[in-house]
Chain A
Amino acid sequence: MQISFIAIAWSAFAGISLSMGLVSLNIWAKRIRLWSHLAFFFISLSIALILIAELLLLQAKEPATYGQILRWSHIPIFIFIASSVIFLRIYLKAGRLWLACAAIGTRLIALIVNFGVEPNINYSAINRLRTMEVWGGEVVAVAEGVAGRWQSLASFSSIVLLLFVLEVTVTCWRRGGYIERRRALTIGGSFIVVVFAVATNAALVHWGVISQPFYLFGTFILVVLAIGNELSNDVLRTARLAGELQQSQFELRDSERRLDLASAAAAVGAWEWDFNRDTIWASDQARFMYGLGRKGPINFQRFLAALHAEDRDSVRASVMQSIEDGQRFQHKHRVQLPDQRVSWVTTIGRVEAGADGGRRVLRGISVDISAHKLASERFREVVEAAPTGIVILGGDRKIVLVNSQIEKDFGYKRKELIGKSIELLIPQCLQSINESDPPGMSDRMGVPQEVLGRHKSGWDVPAEIGLNSIQGAHGAEMLVTISNITERKRRDDTLQQERSFLRQIIDITPGLLFAKDRTGRFTLVNEAVARIYGTTIDNLIGKTDADFNSNREEVEAFRRTDREVMDTLQKKLIMEEPITDALGQIHWLQTVKLPVVNREGYADQLLGVSTDISERKKADLDLAQQRNELAHLSRVMMLSELSGSLAHELNQPLAAILTNAQAALRFLGSENPNLDEIRDILRDIVSDDRRAGEVIQGLRLLLKKGEVQRDALDPNALVESVLKLLRSDMLNAGVAYSTECAQDLPRISGIGVQLQQVLLNLMVNSCDAMTAIPRPERKLVVSTELSAEEYVTFCVRDRGHGISTKLPDQVFEPFFTTKTQGLGLGLAVCRKLIEAHDGRIWASNNKECGASFYFTVPVNAGDAK
C-alpha cells in the first residue's frame, strides 16, 4: 500500500488540533471560570472532526458514501461555527448579540435542512466521483453532481458569520492597546481569512465554477494556531501574574510585619479605613493603642466607641472633613482604655488610593502621646509653680509662653503677651544679644544681668534676667528667666542703711574697735583707733600696729596677745596695757580680744575692743589715796578711843620693869646678894621691855601713814595680833573672847594694817554691843575658815543686841551709827577697805542673840591650795 501524504497530513492536523483542544479542556476543568478555554476545546474538536471528514471525502470511492460523509460533516461544522461565535464573544468581549445569534441560527437552520434533503444540503444529486491527481502523484476524489437548492442558505450563513467576525475584529481593533489590536489581527484576521476562503471556495466548487476537492478546511488549522497562541500567551501571563501576585503577597506580608514591628517599636500604630465598605484595618500597635483587641473586625463605630466620650464628636467631624476635602487631618484625642485608664493619642491621616487602585481609603498613623502629654503637663505645672518669672521666646523672638509669676510681676494677662516682643516687659532684654546671632551663640547667654523691667502700669520693676537657649518643639527657642528683685533691692538698701548705721555706731564709740588678720593687718577699725594713731580709717586698713606705733615693746605685746587669742580660740581680757599715741603720749587701755572663728573652726581674724582707761586709772589712784587717808583717820580715831586700854597695856610691862628694878636694888643692898635672883630679875626686865616695845610698835604701825602694799599674810596671826591689842580693853569691858581658827589656812593677799583695822573695828563694835548684858554672858568669838572660792572668811560673833535694821548691810552705809559719840564712819571705811581687797563684807543676826560680821579676803595667788 502506498503511503498517502494527504492522509498523514490531515491526520496530523486533526491530532494537533485535538491535542490543543484537550490542553484547553484541561485548563478549563481546573479553572472553571475560563469559558473561553472550553469554547476553544469545542473549536479544536470540531476542526479535528471536520479534517477527518474531509480526509474521508478525499478518499471516497462511491458517490453515495461521499454524500453521506458530506452530510454528517455538517455537524462538526455547526459545532465549529457555534463555538467560534461563543469564543469570540467571551474572549474578545465584542460582537453584537443579534449577529451572533443570526450566525448560529442560520447555520442551525442549514444543519436541519441538510438532514432534510438527499443526499445533503450541498448537492441535490451526486452523479459520479471523479479522480484527480494532486501533489506527489496522489489521487483524490472529487464529486460531480447537481448543486443543492438550499446551498445558498449555507452560503448565507457563512456570510453572516463573516459579518460577525468582521464586526468583532473592528470593535477589538478600535479599542486600541497593543494586546487588543494583536488579538484582533491574529484571531479576527485568521477567522476572516479562513471563513472567507472556505465559503468562497465551497460556493465556487458547488456552482461548478471551479473544480477541486474540499481540502481548504485544512486552513482551519490557522484559526486553531492563532487562538492557541493567544490562549497560551494568556496562560503564560496568568502564570507570571500568579507568581508576581504570590511574590507581592509575600512582600506585603513582610512589609506588614515590618510595619508592625517598626510601629510597635516607635509606639506608632498604623491604620486604614475603607470608608466605602466601613472596614478598618489596624496594626497590632494601633489595636493595642485603642484597646481594640488583637482580633476581630473593626468599623468606624467601634473605633469611635474606643475614644473618650468627650472627644468622639470632634474626631468624627475632623475625619469627615478630611474625607470631604481630601486634606490631611491631625487630631489629638483621648482614648478610654478598657482598664479605665485614659491615654492621649495623636492621629494623622489623609485620603489615599486603596491597595487595588480604584477605591479610596483613609490611611494614617496614631501615636500614644500620654507620656509626652504628661511630661508637658508636668513641665507646665513646674513652670507655673516656679517662683521666678519664666518666658519662652520662639525662633522669631516672640513670646510663646509665660508663667503666672510674670503676670503677677508685670500686671499683664497671659493672652496680652503671647506673640508680643519681650521688649514689652524688659525693654533692654535683647540689646546685649546681637540679633543676627543664632540663638545660643551670644556670650551674654546664661549670665544673669540686672535690668529694669516695665510694669503694665508704667513703673519700673527691678529684675534679674537670665537668657538660655533651649531646643523647643519648633527649633531653637530662648528661655528667659525674670526674677523680680524689688524685694531684694529693698533688702539691700535696708542692709546698706543698717550697715552705715552700724558704721556710725562703731565710729562714735569712744572705745577702740578693731579687727586684725593673722598677719596683724587691720581689717576693721573705728574712728577712735584712727584718732590714737593720728591717721584715717582708710589709711589704717591693711596696715599693722608697727606702721603707726613707735614703741616696739607695745607692738610686740599686742602681737603676742593677738596670736594667743587666735591660737587658743579663747577670748582674753587684758586689764591694762599701755599704748603710745601719735603725739608720744601713753594711754592706758583695757582690752578684750575675741577670736573670729570661721567655718573650719579656725580663727583667721580677731576682734578687739579697747577702752581708754587712762582717766579712770588716774581717778582710781586718787581714790585709793583718799581711802587710805580715810582709813588712817579712822584708825587714829579708833586708837584714841582705845587709848585708855592701850595705856594699861603699856603700863603693865613698864610697872613690872620698875618693880623688878626696885627689887634688884634691894637685893644688891643686902649683905649677901643673891646674884642668881638678880640675874632672873634682869632677864624679866628685858622681856617686859620687849613686850612694851611690841605694843608701841603695833601702835606705830596702825598710826603710820603713807605707802601701803599688799603682802602674803597668815590670817590667824592677823587675828592674834588684833586680840593682843584689844586684850585689856575687853578685860575692862568684861568680855570673854575666844577664837575658832581653822588650821593650815593658806596665806591671804592683803594690806596687813588695813585688815587689822577692820578686825579691830568689828571687835570693838561687838564689845560695845554687849555692854547692856550681864558680864558672864559677854562673849566674843573670832573665827577663820577657807571658803570654796579661794577666799578666807573671817567672822566676829557676839551675843549683843544684834542689828536692829531690816537690812543688816545698811550698817555699812556711811554715817550709820547706834553710838551716841560715833561718827558712823567705821563700818563704811571697813567696807571700802575690804572691797579694795576684792573681798566682800556683810553682817547678819544670830539665831539666838547677837550679830555676826563676816568678811572675805582672797587667798594669795601663790599660796592657793
Chain B
Amino acid sequence: MKGAETLQALPVVTIIDDDVSFSKALVRLLTAADFSVATHCSAQDFLAQYDPDIPGCLLLDLAMPGLNGLELQDVLTARSSCLPIIF
C-alpha cells in the first residue's frame, strides 16, 4: 500500500494474491523491471482501496478466499472498469 502512495500518477501494476510468498516474489521482479507495484492479499482488500483514476493493470490469482479472481473481474466489469487483467 505504501508503494501505491509513492508512485502517484504513474501506471501501477496491482498484484492480488493470497499467497504472500508468491506476491512478494512478483513485487521483487516487477520492481527490478522498474514498474510501480501495489499488492493486495484479497479481492475485497483491493476493492476497498480501488481508485479507477490510477492507470495500470491487475495481476490476479484465480483461487482466493472470499472473492476469487473471476468474481473480481465480474465486479470490475460491472463497475465499467477498463483495467486490463492478467490471470
Contact = CB atoms under 8 A, between A and B. Distances in A.
B48 interface: no
A652 B19 contact: yes
Interface in A712-747: 728, 731-732, 734, 736
B25 A659 contact: yes
B25 to A, nearest CB: 4
B32 A670 contact: yes
A677 interface: yes
A664 B24 CA distance: 12
B73 interface: no
Interface string B1-38: 00000000000000000110110111011011100000
A159 B21 CA distance: 203
A659 B25 CA distance: 6
Interface in A447-481: none
B47 interface: no
A659 B26 contact: yes
B32 A660 contact: no
B63 A663 contact: no
Contacts of B52: none
Contact of B63 (A653, A667, A691, A732): A732
Contact of A656 (B21, B31, B32, B63): B21
B72 interface: no
A500 interface: no
Interface in A650-666: 652-653, 655-657, 659-660, 662-664, 666
B21 A667 contact: no
Contacts of B18: 731
A175 to B, nearest CB: 173
Contacts of B31: 663
A494 B29 CA distance: 101
The secondary structure that dominates the B interface is: helix
B22 A652 contact: yes
A684 interface: yes
B45 to A, nearest CB: 16
Name the residue among A653, A659, A734 with the largest chain B CB count within 10 angstroms: A659
A684 B25 contact: yes
A731 B21 CA distance: 17
A670 to B, nearest CB: 7
Contacts of A659: 22, 25-26, 28-29
Contacts of A653: 21-22
A687 interface: yes
A684 B63 contact: no
Contacts of B22: 652-653, 655-656, 659
A660 B65 CA distance: 24
Contacts of A710: none
A688 B28 contact: no
B39 to A, nearest CB: 13
A687 B21 contact: yes
Contacts of A734: 68
A681 interface: yes
Contacts of A660: 25, 28-29
Nearest to B31: A663
A253 interface: no
Contacts of A691: 21
B64 interface: yes
A662 B63 contact: no
A656 B19 contact: yes
A648 interface: yes
B61 to A, nearest CB: 9
B21 A677 contact: no
A666 B21 contact: no
Contact of A731 (B26, B28, B32, B63): B63
Interface in A262-321: none
A774 to B, nearest CB: 12
A657 B63 CA distance: 19
Interface size class on chain B is: 10 to 19
Contacts, number: 53
A731 B64 CA distance: 6
Given A656-B25, A684-B24, A663 B19 contact: no
A648 B32 contact: no
Contact of A667 (B19, B24, B32, B68): B32
A731 B25 contact: no
A688 B21 contact: yes
Contacts of B25: 655-657, 659-660, 663, 681, 684
Contacts of B64: 731
A664 B68 CA distance: 30
B19 A666 contact: no
Nearest to B65: A731
Contacts of A663: 25, 28-29, 31-32
A734 B64 CA distance: 8
Interface in B33-81: 33, 63-65, 68
Contacts of B24: 656, 684
Interface in A622-654: 648, 652-653
A681 B21 CA distance: 10
A664 B26 CA distance: 11
A659 B24 CA distance: 9
A653 B25 CA distance: 10
A648 B63 contact: yes
Nearest to B26: A659
Contacts of A667: 28, 32
Nearest to B23: A656
A655 B25 CA distance: 9
A666 B25 CA distance: 12
A664 B64 CA distance: 27
Interface in A685-705: 687-688, 691
Nearest to A674: B32
Contacts of A732: 63
A656 B29 CA distance: 11
Given A660-B28, A666-B32, A666-B33, A684 B21 contact: yes
B46 to A, nearest CB: 17
A728 B24 CA distance: 19
B21 A728 contact: no
Interface string A73-97: 0000000000000000000000000
B65 A662 contact: no
Nearest to B28: A663
Nearest to B63: A731
B7 to A, nearest CB: 18
Contacts of A684: 21, 24-25
A681 B63 contact: no
A480 to B, nearest CB: 107
A691 B21 CA distance: 11
Contact of B65 (A657, A670, A736): A736
A652 B63 CA distance: 11
A537 to B, nearest CB: 76
A652 B61 CA distance: 10
A655 B22 CA distance: 7
A117 to B, nearest CB: 207
Interface in A102-151: none
Interface of B: 18-19, 21-22, 24-26, 28-29, 31-33, 63-65, 68
21 contacts: A652-B19, A652-B22, A655-B22, A655-B25, A657-B25, A659-B22, A659-B26, A659-B29, A660-B25, A662-B29, A663-B28, A663-B31, A666-B32, A666-B33, A681-B25, A684-B25, A691-B21, A728-B63, A731-B63, A731-B68, A732-B63
The 6 closest A-B pairs by CB, nearest first: A666-B32, A659-B25, A663-B28, A663-B29, A660-B25, A656-B22
Given A655-B25, A662-B29, 16 more contacts: A652-B19, A652-B22, A653-B21, A653-B22, A655-B22, A656-B19, A656-B22, A656-B25, A659-B25, A663-B31, A681-B25, A681-B28, A684-B25, A728-B63, A731-B18, A731-B68
